Amino acid sequence: MFKHLREDIQTVFDQDPAARNSLEVILTYSGLHAIWAHRLAHAFYRRKFYFLARVISQLSRFFTGVEIHPGAVIGRRFFIDHGMGVVIGETCEIGDNVTIFQGVTLGGTGKEKGKRHPTIRDNALVATGAKVLGSIIVGENSKIGAGSVVLKDVPANSTVVGIPGKVVIKDGVKVKDFNHTDLPDPVADRCTDLENQILALKQKLEEAEKKGDIRQNDH
């Protein structure tokens, strides 16, 4: 246990240049407190003391601003930077050496049962405000850009940005057809679809008029 505690503290020093000494880290890093509380809650959860596990996780949420369901499985050297607003769902699986920033959600997409939250592989990074939703996999060494919404699997060694998330770098090579000024816009895409449907209806109406199926005075 003490070995893991020392490892957690060292992880903070490795990830955060603002960390000055061990006492400061132990007393003031809410992300570290949330991880330690989760380990205790998860131990009770595995032994089917579900109520006690949830009480511990909710107390941790109140004091740290980080909500980790006690059922989530988290690996070693996990680092939560700043932490406020982080949400990690029940069936999340997080590997070793993973870093996430404030405002990140690792959540579900509905009321489905079973595995419904993401799996984050080793050495991944999820930046500020990103939302990773559903039973998807974020591959090893991958990065999720700030504010992205990821709904599909992310290959290993990739960088994803945008809403919905799109791979822009894979295996160190930029995706050729990606333009940073032309990020996916689902609202604009929907408006374009509606406009195309209206144009198609107008064309059919004009063709019907030419065939005499509709008289000019009927509309």
Please state whether beta strands 166-170 and 99-101 pair in parallel, antiparallel, or not at all (unpaired). unpaired
Which domain does 196 fall in, by range?
186-218
Is 212 inside any structural domain?
Answer: yes
Is 180 inside any structural domain?
Answer: no
Domain count, the chain: 2
Nearest to 126 by CA among 153, 151, 163, 159: 159
Tens digits of residue pLDDT in 109-120: 877 788 899 999
Tally the C-alpha atoms within 13 A of residue 70's C-alpha that lie toward its C-beta: 22
User: Within this chain, do residues 193 and 214 fall inside the same structural domain, yes or no?
Assistant: yes
User: Within this chain, do residues 126 and 197 fall inside the same structural domain, yes or no?
Assistant: no
User: Within this chain, do residues 6 and 94 fall inside the same structural domain, yes or no?
Assistant: yes
Is 23 inside any structural domain?
Answer: yes
pTM over 0.75: no
User: Within this chain, do residues 14 and 69 fall inside the same structural domain, yes or no?
Assistant: yes
User: Within this chain, do residues 95 and 132 fall inside the same structural domain, yes or no?
Assistant: yes
Tens digits of residue pLDDT in 33-89: 999 999 999 999 999 999 999 999 999 999 999 999 999 999 999 999 887 889 999
- What pLDDT is recorded for position 126? 92
Residue 168 has pLDDT above 70, yes or no: yes
User: Within this chain, do residues 23 and 126 fall inside the same structural domain, yes or no?
Assistant: yes
In b/e form, how buried is each residue of 63-98, taking b as 16+ CB within 10 angstroms?
A: ebbbbbbbbbebeebbbbbbbeebbbbbbbbbbebb
- What pLDDT is recorded for position 98? 92
CATH number of the domain to which 53 belongs: 2.160.10.10
User: Within this chain, do residues 83 and 112 fall inside the same structural domain, yes or no?
Assistant: yes
Q: Decide: helix, strand or coil at residue 2.
A: helix
- What pLDDT is recorded for position 212? 72
User: Within this chain, do residues 87 and 55 fall inside the same structural domain, yes or no?
Assistant: yes
Is 181 inside any structural domain?
Answer: no
Tens digits of residue pLDDT in 175-208: 655 454 455 566 677 788 888 899 989 888 888 8
User: Within this chain, do residues 95 and 126 fall inside the same structural domain, yes or no?
Assistant: yes
- What pLDDT is recorded for position 180? 47
